[in-house]
Amino acid sequence: MNKILLILIISAFLIACQHKASSSFELSTEAKSYLAPDSILYKYPQKVAENVYSAIGATAAPTYENSGHNNNLSFIITPEGVVVINAGASYLLAQALHNEIKKLTDQVVEFVILENAQGHAMLGSNYWQQQGAKIVSQKDGAAVMKRFAKSSVERMKARQKEKGLFTEPTTADIIFDAKYEINLGGTIIQALHLGPAHSPGDIVVWLPQQKVVIAGDMAFHQRLLPVTDHTDTAAWIDTWNNEFETLGAEIVVPGHGTPTNMVEVRKYTRDYLLYVRAEVTRIIAEDGDLQQAYEMDLSAYEHLHTFSDLAKQNIGRIFRAMEFE
Domains in the chain, number: 1
Distance CA 192, CA 182 (A): 11
What confidence tier does 312 reach under pLDDT thresholds 50, 70, 90?
very high
- Measured distance CA(12)–CA(15) in Å, rounded: 5
97 assigned to some structural domain: yes
CATH number for the domain harbouring residue 214:
3.60.15.10
pLDDT tens per residue across span 55-69 = 999 999 999 999 999
Is residue 291 situated within a structural domain? Answer: no
Confidence band, pLDDT 50/70/90 cuts, at residue 325: confident
Report the distance separating Cα 210 and Cα 270, nearest Å.
24
Whether residue 305 lies inside any domain: the answer is no
Residue-wise pLDDT tens digits, 146-170:
999 999 999 999 999 999 999 999 9
Is residue 46 situated within a structural domain? yes
Is residue 201 domain-resident? yes
17 — pLDDT class (breaks 50, 70, 90) = very low
User: Within a domain: residue 26?
Assistant: no
**Cα–Cα separations (whole angstroms), residue 279 to 184, 284, 322:** 47, 9, 11
Tell me if 237 is assigned to some domain.
Answer: yes
* Cβ pair 61, 69 in contact under 8 A: no
pLDDT (tens digit per residue) in 228-263: 999 999 999 999 999 999 999 999 999 999 999 999
Global pTM? Answer: 0.89
Residue 242 maps to a domain:
yes
pLDDT tens across 126-152, in order?
Answer: 999 999 999 999 999 999 999 999 999
Whether the predicted pLDDT of 26 surpasses 60: no
| Domain that residue 213 falls in | 35-225+233-261
